[in-house]
Chains A and B, each alone.
Chain A
Amino acid sequence: MTTTLPLFAQLINLFAAILLLLSFAMLAQRRVLSLIDLFAAQGLALATSTVIVAYATKQPHLYFSAALTLILKVILLPWILHRLIRKLDVKWDVEQLINIPTTMLVGIVLVVFAFNLASPISQLASTVTRATLGIAMACVMLSFLMMITRRKAIPQVIGFLSMENGLFFAATSATYGMPMVVELGIALDVLVGMLILGVFFFQIREQFDSLDLQHLEKLKESE
C-alpha cells in the first residue's frame, strides 16, 4: 500500500471508524445513562466529520448541518433524555433479549453485509468520502439491531436517534449532504418525535407500571 490518501480523507476515515466503534459501544452498553453519553459522543463525532467534509469540499451549507447536529444531537436531545430519565426515575441496567457477545457477533455479520452492499456503490463514486458509505450503512444497521435487541422503551428510542445519525452520515458521504430544507425538516421531525415519545413514556408507564415494551405485545386486557 504505497499510495497515501490526502489528509482530509484520512481524517474523515478516522471519524468514520470512530462512529462505527461508538455504534458498537452503544450496542454493548448496559447502562442507560452511559448510553446517552455515547449517543452524544456519536453526535459529536458526526458533527466533526461533517465540518471536515465541509472544509475539504468547500460546501458551506455543510457547516450549517454540522452546527445543527451539534446543537440538536450533542446538546439538546441528550439533555431532554437526561431530564426524562430523572423524571421517570429509571436508572436501571438495560435488559437485553440476547446476551451481549451474541449481539456483537450478529453486529459483525451486519457490518460485513453493509460493507459488501456498499462496495459497488463506492467504486462508482468519486467523492472524497466514498469509502465511508459502508460504515454509514453499518451504523444504520447496528442501530436497527439495537432497537431489536432492547426491551425497554428508552434504549429503543436512543437506537432510533442513532439510526438517524447513521442516515445523516450516509447522506454526507454519498452526496455531500441533503438539501438544507430536507435537513431542517428531519431535524425538526427528530426533535418533535423525541418530545412526543417523551409524553408516550409517561403514558406507557402509567398504564403498565414499567417501560418494558413487551407489555404492548398483548392486545387483550386479560389473558
Chain B
Amino acid sequence: MSATGLLSQLLQLAIALALAPLLVGWVNQCRAWLQNKSAPSLLLPYRTIRKLFLKDAVVASNASPLFRLMPYIVFGAMCCAAAIVPSLATDLPFAYAADAIALVGLFALARVFIALAAMDIGTSFGTMGARREMFVGFLAEPALLMVFFTASLISGSTSLPTIVDTLAHRELAIYPSLALAGVAFTMVSLAENARIPVDNPATHLELTMIHEAMVLEYSARHLALIEWASALKLFNYSCIGVALFVPFGIVVEGADWLAMLGAAPALIAKLVVGGFALALIETLSAKMRIFRAPEFLGTAFLLAVLAMLVTQLLGG
C-alpha cells in the first residue's frame, strides 16, 4: 500500500460523498429545463439532507431494531461501493477487498435491507414496494453481472481496478461488444436507480412508486441517510459506467499524485454529460407498466449476453 494509493482512496471517497447530491441536483435541473419548468436550485438536495438531519425522528411504534438499523447499513454499503469503484484512480488499496461480483452483492445487500425494513412496519405500501423492488432487482442483477463478465472476459480479471486499467490502456478502436454492454448497462442503471422507464423518482402516486413506497415510513435523519445513499447509488452507477466505457483520463497505477488534479475535472465533466443524458432519457421516455419491466430488463440481459458472445466470437 502506497501513500499515493491511500491518498487517492480517501480523495475518491470524499468526492463521492460530497458530489453525489450535486449529481442528483444536476439531473433534476436538466430535467426541469428539458420539460420547460423553472429549475430547482442545484444545491436543493444538500438543503433537503440538512433539513432532514435537523428534524426529530419519528418511528412507528411497532418498528423493530432492523427498521432503525437499515439506513446505516444501506449508507455503509453505498460508501463501501464508492470506495471500490475506481472513479478517479485505479491504485486503490481498498478495492482489492472486493471484486465486481462482490460489488453486485453489495448493491444486493442494500436492496435486501431496504426491502426488509419496508416490510417491517407492515403497511401495505411498504410491502408492495418491497415486492416490486425485489422483482425488479432479480431481473436487473443477472444483466449487471453479465455486463461485468463481458468486461472481465476482455481484461481477464474480475477485479475492478484491473478491468479499468486494461480498458484504459487499449488502443482506440471500435468494440461492438462494449457498445452492446454499454446499452445494457444503461438500461440496468435506469432500473436500479428507480429512474423513469421502470420507476419514477418524483412521484408519490401509490400505484406506480417502487422506491418511494419502501421509504414512506422514514423521517428525519433516517430519511436523510436514505436520500444520501440513493444519491450515492446513482453516483456509483455513473462512475461504474464512466470507468467501464469511457475510462480515459483516469489515473492508472504508477502515476504520480499530481495526475489526480487532472482526473477530477475529467470525472466531473463526464458526470455532467452523463447526468444530462440521464435527464434526456427520462424526458423522452414514458414510464412503463410494471409488467413490462421483465421485457425491458430481459432486453438488457439479452444485450449483455450478446456482448459476451460477441466478445468471444470477434475477440473484443
Contacts of B310 in A (CB 8 A): 17, 20, 135
Q: Which of B180, B294, B299 contacts A17 (CB 8 A)?
A: B180
Interface SS of chain B: helix
Please tell me the number of chain A residues within 8 Å of chain B, measured between CB atoms.
Answer: 29
Which A residues between 121 and 149 are near B, CB-CB below 8 angstroms?
131-132, 134-135
Contact of B253 with A by CB under 8 A = no
Interface residues on B, range: 20 to 34
Is there contact, CB below 8 Å, between B299 and A10?
A: no
Is there contact, CB below 8 Å, between B302 and A1?
A: no
Contact of B117 with A by CB under 8 A = no
Contact of B37 with A by CB under 8 A = no
| Chain A residue with Cβ nearest B139 | A101
Nearest CB of chain A from residue B294's CB, rounded to whole Å? 6
Contacts of A104 in B (CB 8 A): 298-299, 302
Is there contact, CB below 8 Å, between B306 and A14?
A: no
Contact of B316 with A by CB under 8 A = yes
Is there contact, CB below 8 Å, between B312 and A17?
A: no
Is there contact, CB below 8 Å, between A134 and B313?
A: yes
Is there contact, CB below 8 Å, between B171 and A4?
A: yes
* Residue of B170, B177, B295, B302 most packed against chain A (CB within 10 A): B302
Is there contact, CB below 8 Å, between A17 and B176?
A: yes
Nearest CB of chain A from residue B301's CB, rounded to whole Å? 8
Nearest CB of chain A from residue B25's CB, rounded to whole Å? 35
Nearest CB of chain B from residue A152's CB, rounded to whole Å? 20
The CA-CA distance from A16 to B180 in the complex, in Å, is 12
Given A10-B173, A10-B174, check contact A115 B313 (CB 8 Å).
yes
Contact code string B144-188 (vs A, CB < 8 Å = 1, else 0): 000000000010000000000000001101101101100000000
The CA-CA distance from A16 to B175 in the complex, in Å, is 12
The CA-CA distance from A131 to B264 in the complex, in Å, is 40
Contacts of A20 in B (CB 8 A): 306, 310
Is there contact, CB below 8 Å, between B294 and A101?
A: yes
Q: Which of B179, B180, B305, B315 contacts A108 (CB 8 A)?
A: B305
Is there contact, CB below 8 Å, between A5 and B173?
A: yes
The CA-CA distance from A13 to B309 in the complex, in Å, is 13
Is there contact, CB below 8 Å, between A131 and B306?
A: no
Is there contact, CB below 8 Å, between B314 and A17?
A: yes
Contacts of B309 in A (CB 8 A): 111-112, 115
User: What are 25 A-B contacts defined by CB distance under 8 Å?
Assistant: A1-B170, A4-B173, A10-B174, A13-B174, A13-B314, A14-B174, A17-B176, A17-B179, A17-B314, A20-B310, A21-B180, A21-B306, A24-B302, A24-B306, A28-B295, A100-B295, A100-B298, A101-B294, A101-B295, A108-B305, A111-B309, A112-B309, A118-B313, A131-B314, A135-B310
**4 residue pairs, one from A and one from B, having the closest CB atoms:** A17-B176, A101-B298, A10-B174, A13-B314
**Taking beta carbons and an 8 Å cutoff, which residues of A are in contact with B?**
1, 4-5, 10-11, 13-14, 16-18, 20-21, 24, 28, 100-101, 104-105, 107-108, 111-112, 115, 118-119, 131-132, 134-135
Q: A17-B176, A21-B180, A108-B302 are in contact. List 12 more A-B contacts (CB 8 A).
A: A1-B170, A4-B170, A10-B173, A13-B176, A17-B180, A20-B306, A100-B295, A100-B298, A101-B294, A104-B299, A107-B302, A111-B306
